[in-house]
Amino acid sequence: THHSQGSLPRLAQEQQIPSARSVAKRPGRILVTGGAGFLGSHVCEALLRNGEEVVCLDDFSTGTRANLAHLEGHRGFRLLQGDVAAPVTAEVEAAQVDAIYNLACPASPAQYQADPIRTLKTCVFGAATMLEFARSRGAAILQASTSEVYGDPQVHPQPEHYVGHVNPIGPRACYDEGKRCAETLFFDYRRQHGLSVKVARIFNCYGPRLRPGDGRVVSTFIVQALLGQPITIHGDGRQTRSFCYVSDLVTGLLALMRTPDAVTGPMNLGNPAEIPVAELAEMVVRLTGSRSRPVFLKAAVDDPRQRRPDITQARQVLGWAPSVPLEEGLLRTIAYFDRVLAGGEGAAAG
Catalytic residues: 175
Looking at the Cβ atoms of 34 and 109, the one nearer to ligand UDP is 109
Q: Is 242 in the site for ligand NAD (CB under 6 A)?
A: no
- Name which of residues 45 to 74 contact ligand NAD (CB under 6 A): 58-63
Cα(298)–Cα(279) distance, rounded to whole angstroms? 18
Return the C-alpha torsion angle 127, 131, 137, 140, nearest 10. 90
Cα 182 to the center of its chain, rounded Å: 15
- At residue 46's C-alpha, the angle toward residues 45 and 49, to 5°, is 90
* Contact by Cβ (8 Å): 268, 160: yes
Looking at the Cβ atoms of 133 and 243, the one nearer to ligand UDP is 243
Q: Smallest distance, Å, CB 191 to ligand NAD?
A: 23
The amino acid sitting at 63 is G
Q: Is 83 in the site for ligand NAD (CB under 6 A)?
A: yes
Looking at the Cβ atoms of 102 and 290, the one nearer to ligand NAD is 102
**Long-range CB contacts (within 8 A, 24+) of 278-283:** 278/233, 278/236, 278/237, 278/238, 279/237, 280/217, 280/218, 280/221, 280/241, 280/243, 281/221, 281/231, 281/233, 281/237, 283/326, 283/327, 283/330
Return the C-alpha torsion angle 275, 277, 283, 286, nearest 10. -170
The option from ligand NAD, ligand UDP, none interacting with 233 (CB < 5 to 8 A, set by class) reads: ligand UDP
Q: Which residues bind ligand UDP (CB under 6 A)?
A: 108-109, 204, 216-217, 220, 232-234, 239, 241, 277, 300, 303
The option from ligand NAD, ligand UDP, none interacting with 109 (CB < 5 to 8 A, set by class) reads: ligand UDP
Q: Is 309 in the site for ligand NAD (CB under 6 A)?
A: no
Q: Is 34 in the site for ligand NAD (CB under 6 A)?
A: yes
Q: Smallest distance, Å, CB 158 to ligand NAD?
A: 13
Looking at the Cβ atoms of 12 and 227, the one nearer to ligand UDP is 227
Cα(35)–Cα(102) distance, rounded to whole angstroms? 9
Q: What are phi and psi of 76, to 5 degrees?
A: -85, 10
Q: Is 207 in the site for ligand NAD (CB under 6 A)?
A: no
The option from ligand NAD, ligand UDP, none interacting with 202 (CB < 5 to 8 A, set by class) reads: ligand NAD
Size of the site for ligand NAD (CB under 6 A): 28
The option from ligand UDP, ligand NAD, none interacting with 212 (CB < 5 to 8 A, set by class) reads: none
Q: Smallest distance, Å, CB 285 to ligand UDP?
A: 13
Q: Is 271 in the site for ligand NAD (CB under 6 A)?
A: no
DSSP element (H, E) containing 145: strand 140-146
Q: Smallest distance, Å, CB 281 to ligand UDP?
A: 8
Which residues touch 225 (CB under 8 Å, ≥6 apart)? 231, 284, 285, 288, 290, 292
Q: How far is CA 2 from CA 8, 14, 292, in A?
A: 10, 19, 62
Three-class SS of residue 143? strand
Looking at the Cβ atoms of 14 and 303, the one nearer to ligand NAD is 303
Stretch that binds ligand NAD, among 29-37, 127-135, 165-173, 288-296 (CB under 6 A): 29-37
Cα(233)–Cα(224) distance, rounded to whole angstroms? 11
Looking at the Cβ atoms of 208 and 292, the one nearer to ligand NAD is 208
- Name which of residues 91 to 130 contact ligand NAD (CB under 6 A): 103-107, 122, 126
| Footprint on this chain of ligand NAD (rule: CB under 6 A) | 33-34, 36-40, 58-63, 83-85, 103-107, 122, 126, 144, 146, 202, 204-205
